[in-house]
């Protein structure tokens, strides 16, 4: 294998889609440097090490997540989850859902406020580390799914729309052990325009 071919097979860490200080005061510049540069990029680097001798090398990241297990899955899923999470945030977000997504949230949760309460409760109460997801299930209904560790709805055939990272590295610098406060602050920078685009995509 040539060096060029090997490079083509690597997963490349994505830059943040905004400046490191853009989400302050809800998410600090220091937190984003650690979250993105240390943790996310660390998962990507380890994933590339594991892919070097894998038949999954060269495949898209989402396909690697679905087709892998063990350490390869853990690092691939964490890389994919983090990319999805960072892209859900914005310094100038649409602060509430609209259109078809708003109708679906009202239908399946009663109201946007009731949805936020339910998802915040799920995020605050998930034991240990993991992710809490808003998904569209196989029947077309919206649901909140809690996944420990590197868990992702990709492996269950559900369509991910939004996630909240409740690993301590996502909030501990800013909020220490006050996870519920970190989740409350995060609603200020979640971009419902992006979530709506995901929902509308076929």
Report pLDDT digits (tens) over 73-128: 999 999 999 999 999 999 999 999 999 999 999 999 999 999 999 999 999 999 99
The residues spanned by each domain of the chain are: 99-200
Cβ atoms < 10 Å from Cβ of 180: 14
> Average model confidence (pLDDT) for the chain?
95
pLDDT at residue 8 in the model: 52
pLDDT at residue 5 in the model: 44
Q: Decide if domain 99-200 falls under CATH 3.55.40.20.
A: yes
pLDDT at residue 161 in the model: 99
- Find out whether 133 and 144 touch, Cβ atoms under 8 Å: yes
Residues of the chain with pLDDT under 70: 1-8
Say whether 32 sits in a helix, a strand or coil. helix
Q: At CA 42, angle to CA 37 and CA 44, rounded to 5?
A: 105
Report which of 157, 151, 114 is spatially closest to residue 133, judged by C-alpha positions. 151
pLDDT at residue 2 in the model: 32
- Find out whether 79 and 43 touch, Cβ atoms under 8 Å: yes
pLDDT at residue 126 in the model: 98
Cβ-proximal residues to 163 (8 Å cutoff; 6+ apart), any chain: 81, 84, 85, 88, 131, 132, 133, 134
pLDDT at residue 69 in the model: 97
């Amino acid at each position: 294998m040539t060096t060029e071919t090997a490079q083509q097979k690597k997963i490349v860490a994505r830059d943040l889609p905004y400046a490191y200080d853009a989400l302050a005061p809800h998410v600090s510049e220091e937190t984003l440097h650690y979250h993105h540069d240390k943790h996310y990029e660390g998962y990507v680097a380890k994933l590339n090490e594991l892919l070097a001798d894998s038949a999954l090398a060269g495949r898209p990241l989402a396909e690697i997540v679905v087709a892998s297990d063990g350490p390869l899955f853990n690092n691939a899923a964490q890389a994919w989850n983090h990319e999805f999470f960072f892209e859900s945030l914005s310094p100038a977000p649409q602060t509430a859902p609209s259109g078809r997504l708003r109708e679906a949230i009202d239908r399946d949760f009663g109201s946007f406020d009731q949805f936020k309460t339910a998802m915040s409760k799920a995020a605050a109460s998930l034991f240990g580390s993991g992710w809490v997801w808003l998904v569209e299930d196989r029947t077309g209904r919206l649901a909140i799914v809690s996944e420990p560790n590197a868990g992702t709805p990709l492996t269950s055939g559900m369509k991910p729309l939004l996630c909240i990272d409740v690993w301590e590295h996502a909030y501990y610098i800013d909020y220490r052990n006050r996870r519920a406060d970190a989740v409350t602050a995060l609603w200020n920078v979640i971009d419902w325009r992006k979530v709506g685009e995901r929902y509308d995509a076929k």
